[in-house]
Amino acid sequence: MSSNKLLILVSVLTSILILSFSVVLIGCGAQDKKVVKIQEPVEEIEAEKETEVETAEEIAVEESVPDKSDYLTVADVEKVSGVQGIQVVSYNPCIGAGGDINFALSDGTMFLLAQNQPDSLFEEWRKGEDFFNEPIANLGDEAYSAPKSFDYQYIVCCLKKPYAVGVSSFFNESEGGKPYFTQEQLIELTRIILSRL
């Protein structure tokens, strides 16, 4: 057999081996994909079940909180602050309106936000390192001024099971960055909310 024929024969056999090996690999890859496709729906179904459970829990928690527009009103905020022309601002964390109910001055400057959530939120606040500053007596089951590591305590956090109530002042830049509300005013607003739970 000539060397040319031998070279051609080796090339053909090598090509056949490569082709055979490729078919085996493609077949294995396709089989793996079938396995993945079979497993994906199971995983998706499990994830959907978890989501459904969480959604049901969230709905149950949400239903335990009263209508949030009723627990603190513009009239309440105007009376306690002495400022007129206050307006309610829809939830929008991009502008600082991250509470359940948010109040702004007449020019849209954020003024105050309030939260009324299930009591698990109070435990989240408690976990914040050095978040609580000082206890506040005779307010709900447990209450604190906050935050500890700031020049001003501009938040009141209160637990009245099964609720957690938080009231937070924004800062008056024209008054050197002091909070719009004193701690006494925030406590008064918190008492109003608690009276409506």
H/E stretch holding 146 reads: strand 142-146
The answer on pLDDT for 65 being more than 90 is no
Name the CATH architecture for the domain at 74-195.
3-Layer(aba) Sandwich (3.40)
Measured CA to CA, the distance from residue 3 to residue 14 in angstroms comes to 16
User: What is the model's pLDDT at position 68?
Assistant: 81
| 103 or 9, greater pLDDT | 103
Q: Tell me the sheet residues that pair with 117.
A: 164
State the chain's maximal CA–CA distance in angstroms.
109
pLDDT tens digits along 123-174: 999 998 889 999 999 999 999 999 988 888 999 999 999 999 999 999 999 9
Average pLDDT estimate for 41-61: 51
For the entire predicted model, the pTM comes to: 0.67
Phi, psi of 109 (to 5 degrees): -65, 130
Measured CA to CA, the distance from residue 2 to residue 61 in angstroms comes to 87
- Is 145 strand, coil or helix? strand
Measured CA to CA, the distance from residue 157 to residue 140 in angstroms comes to 10
| 151 or 73, greater pLDDT | 73
pLDDT tens digits along 81-133: 999 999 999 999 999 999 999 999 999 999 999 999 999 999 999 998 889 99
DSSP string across 47-109: HHHHHHHHHHHHHHHHHTSPPTTTSS-HHHHHHHH-----EEE--BGGGTB-SSEEEE-TTS-
**Strand pairing report for 163-169 and 171-172:** unpaired
